[in-house]
Amino acid sequence: MPFLLFLLLGAAVIMRGQSATEPPPRPEDTPALPAEEAIEEPGAEPESPPGRPVNDWLEAQVELHRRGFSCGSIDGVRGAQTAAALKAWQKNEGLRESGDLDRATKAALLLSEPALTDYIFTVEDSAATAAVPDTWLGKSELDALRHATPLEMIAERFRANPKLLAKVNPGVNWDDLLPGTRLVVPSADPVLAPGKVARIHIYLAEKILQAVDETGRILLHSPVSIARNVEKRPVGELHVTVVIPDPNYTFDPVVFPEVPEAQELGRKLIIAPGPNNPVGVAWIGLDRTGYGIHGTPDPEKVGRTESHGCFRLANWDARVLVRLAWVGLPVTVDP
């Protein structure tokens, strides 16, 4: 009997030792939902393991972003930008370009890691936010155009729609986000396929930009905004003349005749770099005066016809493209 008791106690110790070495539970990837709905709050199911087919549109968006196929801001919904990104990826993989999570697509689009992860909001994060003035003069007086709010910062850093962040972080007070707060965020850092960009294609009708290698394989896909006025949309072949990460911006009143403040100022202003700079975090100049590809502090507005002529990307896509672009790179703009 004492020997049996010894065996039972030993087994209990071993079981306790195994449990202690296991990682603490993390927020799970959300369950599948109809295409028109965003995800629900996490926590009901175990974490989705990597190496399996994507289960829903949130997972698909995150995995596409990881592979260089930007869907705009991640929201868990199959919108037009998500469908376009999926079609581009399907084209690369030789699949039917359905824009849907059909059986063949799910078999090929495997999660490289769980779609959601944890992030701790830091003191440095809090210090890196500041209100952005409404006037051009006010902007010019700052040493940097930082993120205006913690929500804006986290949304841009993790390519997330603010509505998604609110849903997966119930109870978080974004208006008073304190350092040390644990947040659930998409894990969507891109790991691009190897290769050198040989050409950028901008498709005006579809409002998409694609950087391809010499074989035509897509290395980067993203939604893009184009000029509001048709006559200001360049068509044909252009070339990159300059590549500048984190640029400043020269405000020229002549370019903004519709802005009353511009006419009152009557002079140019220099706007400091930062995510809320008018050209975002990157400027890729083209060989047409005043035209370029650049970032924007308003990612939810990307994919529209509202620029003065330049091509706008979400800041996260602009950061990737500025690392891939080079002076002399051909840029073909298709109608």
Instruction: Name all domains of the chain by residue range, CATH numbers in brackets.
Output: 199-246+281-334 (2.40.440.10)
Read off the tokens for 230. Answer: 């048709």
Closest C-alpha to 226, from 298, 303, 320: 303
Residue type, 240: V
Read off the tokens for 209. Answer: 């930009």
| CA–centroid distance for 229 within its chain | 27
Residue type, 106: K
HSE-CB at 1 with a 13 A cutoff on CA atoms is 0
Contact between 195 and 213 under an 8 Å Cβ cutoff? The reply is yes
Q: Which helix (H) or strand (E) holds 11?
A: helix 2-21
C-alpha triplet 213, 216, 219: angle, nearest 5°: 50
Contact between 182 and 118 under an 8 Å Cβ cutoff? The reply is yes
pLDDT digits (tens, 9 = 90+) for 173-216: 999 999 999 999 999 999 988 899 999 999 999 999 999 999 99
Read off the tokens for 298. Answer: 């308003």
Closest C-alpha to 132, from 315, 249, 250, 271: 271
Average pLDDT over residues 264-286: 96
Contact between 38 and 1 under an 8 Å Cβ cutoff? The reply is no
Among 14-18, 50-54, 180-184, 191-195, top mean pLDDT goes to 180-184
Residue with tokens 């030789």: 94
Question: What CA–CA distance (Å, rounded) separates 326 from 225?
Answer: 21
Identify the three-state secondary structure at position 125: helix
Contact between 61 and 161 under an 8 Å Cβ cutoff? The reply is no
Residue with tokens 């930062």: 274
At 306 the pLDDT is 73
Average pLDDT over residues 266-294: 96
Question: What CA–CA distance (Å, rounded) separates 242 from 245?
Answer: 10
Question: What CA–CA distance (Å, rounded) separates 31 from 27?
Answer: 12
Closest C-alpha to 88, from 218, 226, 205: 218
Question: Percentage of residues in the chain with pLDDT exceeding 70?
Answer: 85
Mean pLDDT for all residues in the chain = 87
At 48 the pLDDT is 59
* Catalytic site positions: 294, 310
Reported as a pLDDT band with limits 50, 70 and 90, residue 61 is very high
More confident residue, 62 or 1: 62
